[in-house]
């Protein structure tokens, strides 16, 4: 605390990311990174990059990537927004679209960055509990609001909502923006991108950090009606005109163009998730049905925090949350089959 801090900063509680340890040779199953390297086409694009170009500013629109993503999702470029990781895209969306007099609705248990943005930006939020099966029940979101946000699949539960249910919400909630954070959608849920043509209040966010193995480069995107995208661009261009550097633009474009590798690595993770779920169940764990690259599991007799600490002693990192409603769960990222076998041996 310093007297030089702005008043609003004094009470901020920042987001705590999962640990990024400096030591190597850990089995890192705590931040939902992809265990496989980026696509060979990404590596090739980075090798081909001419370093002389780095003295220039990057394209502020990142048009090359915008056009590749528009084509990939069968959209117009005017329906695509890009940012420095989806965390930044989300922050700009909160600024541009959620600062209204009615409260923002969000699940009580979800990606914890949402509440941090609300504190930072002074947005009033109503946090709606999950049902007894740890699912988001969208019936509970039909009340007056200044916006709705949830992750699908949700974090840290991994549970996905069917698209038909999201469409029902959109049809009933036409006066505020519904933001669907699809950070994990490529691991087995249906994307709501197809709905943006019919619902001008729908914004969908994606990240290159999980399914595209590019967490180290910070690339995120949003898809929605051109008016929503325009609102995001206004805030972006009032804050940082160059959120994506030249290397990130090249790497992300190459990733989109190597679809076979992308599909294959996603499928491998889905297969390993199924094996892991069965192996955990055989050890007596309850595992929530996951459509993501992690599982959320609890054991009826073993304390979750103790398990997390004892795994840590064996150089295996998993994530534990202290929030009372989920503090008997571990969130375990899906690594390679070999990594998951070592986890099972230690458990
Ligand atoms: C990982 C994650 C993000 C952030 O992704 P970045 O693009 O790495 O900033 C956003 N939302 C959810 C739900 C996530 O799990």
Of 270, 295, 272, 293, which is closest to residue 157 (Cα–Cα)? 295
Whether domain 7-37+260-346 has CATH 3.40.50.11690? no
pLDDT at 17: 79
Determine whether the shortest distance from the Cβ of 215 to ligand 1 is under 6 A.
yes
C-alpha closest to that of 79 among 223, 201, 270, 197: 223
pLDDT of residue 25: 82
- pLDDT digit string (tens) for 193-246? 999 999 999 999 999 999 999 999 999 999 999 999 999 999 999 999 999 999
> How many angstroms separate the CA atoms of 82 and 56, rounded?
20
Residue 268, pLDDT above cutoff 90: yes
Q: Would you say the CB of residue 111 lies under 6 angstroms from ligand 1?
A: yes
What is the model's pLDDT at position 15? Answer: 85
For 50-67, what is each residue's pLDDT tens digit? 999 999 999 999 999 999
Hey, whose CA ends up nearest to atom 1 of ligand 1?
Answer: 183
Asked if residue 183 has its Cβ within 6 Å of ligand 1, the reply is yes
Atom of ligand 1 nearest to the CA of 32: 1
Q: Is 181 in the pocket of ligand 1 (CB under 6 A)?
A: yes
What are the extents of the domains in the chain?
7-37+260-346, 40-258
pLDDT in the model for residue 100: 95
Phi and psi dihedrals of 28, rounded to 5? -100, 100
Cα separation, 275 vs 51, in Å, equals 44
pLDDT grade for 9, boundaries at 50, 70 and 90? confident
**Closest C-alpha to ligand 1, atom 2:** 183
Is the pLDDT confidence value at 319 over 90? yes
pLDDT band (50, 70, 90) for residue 282: very high
pTM over cut 0.85: yes
Sign, CA dihedral 185-189-193-198, equals: negative
How high is the pLDDT of residue 83? 98
Helices 113-121 and 85-97 meet at what angle, rounded to 10?
40
pLDDT > 90? residue 68:
yes
CB 251 within 8 A of CB 42: yes
For residue 189, pLDDT beyond 80: yes
pLDDT at 91: 98
Average pLDDT, the chain: 96
| pLDDT tens per residue, range 16-52 | 877 777 777 899 999 999 999 999 999 999 999 999 9
CATH of domain 40-258: 3.40.640.10
Which tens digits make up the pLDDT trace of 284-317?
999 999 999 999 999 999 999 999 999 999 999 9
The verdict on the CB of residue 222 being under 6 Å from ligand 1 is no
Beta partners for 2?
none
Protein residue with least CA distance to atom 5, ligand 1: 86
- pLDDT tens digits for range 152-166: 999 999 999 999 999
């Amino acid at each position: 605390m310093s007297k030089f801090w702005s008043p609003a900063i004094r009470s901020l509680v920042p987001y705590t990311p999962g640990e990024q340890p400096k030591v190597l040779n850990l089995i890192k199953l705590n931040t939902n990174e992809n265990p496989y390297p980026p696509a060979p086409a990404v590596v090739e694009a980075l090798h081909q990059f001419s370093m002389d170009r780095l003295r220039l500013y990057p394209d502020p629109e990142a048009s090359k990537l915008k056009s590749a993503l528009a084509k990939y999702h069968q959209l117009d470029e005017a329906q695509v927004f890009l940012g420095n990781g989806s965390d930044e895209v989300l922050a700009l969306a909160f600024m541009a679209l959620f600062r209204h007099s009615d409260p923002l609705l969000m699940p009580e248990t979800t990606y914890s960055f949402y509440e941090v943005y609300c504190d930072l930006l002074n947005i009033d939020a109503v946090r709606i509990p999950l049902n007894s099966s740890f699912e988001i029940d969208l019936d509970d979101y039909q009340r007056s609001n200044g916006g709705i946000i949830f992750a699908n699949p949700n974090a840290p539960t991994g549970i996905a909502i069917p698209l038909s249910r999201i469409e029902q919400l959109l049809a009933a909630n036409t006066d505020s923006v519904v933001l669907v954070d699809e950070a994990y959608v490529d691991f087995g849920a249906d994307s709501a991108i197809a709905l943006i043509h019919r619902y001008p209040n729908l914004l969908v966010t994606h990240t290159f950090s999980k399914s595209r193995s590019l967490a180290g480069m910070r690339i995120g995107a949003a898809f929605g009606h051109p008016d929503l995208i325009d609102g995001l661009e206004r805030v972006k261009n009032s804050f940082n005109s160059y959120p994506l550097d030249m290397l990130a633009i090249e790497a992300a474009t190459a990733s989109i163009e190597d679809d076979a590798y992308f599909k294959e690595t996603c499928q491998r993770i889905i297969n390993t998730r199924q094996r892991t779920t069965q192996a955990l169940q055989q050890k007596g764990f309850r595992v929530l049905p996951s459509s993501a690259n992690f599982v959320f599991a609890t054991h009826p007799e073993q304390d979750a925090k103790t398990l997390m600490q004892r795994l840590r002693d064996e150089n295996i990192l998993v994530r534990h949350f202290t929030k009372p409603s989920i503090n008997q769960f571990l969130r375990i990222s899906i690594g390679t089959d070999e990594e998951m076998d070592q986890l099972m041996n230690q458990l």
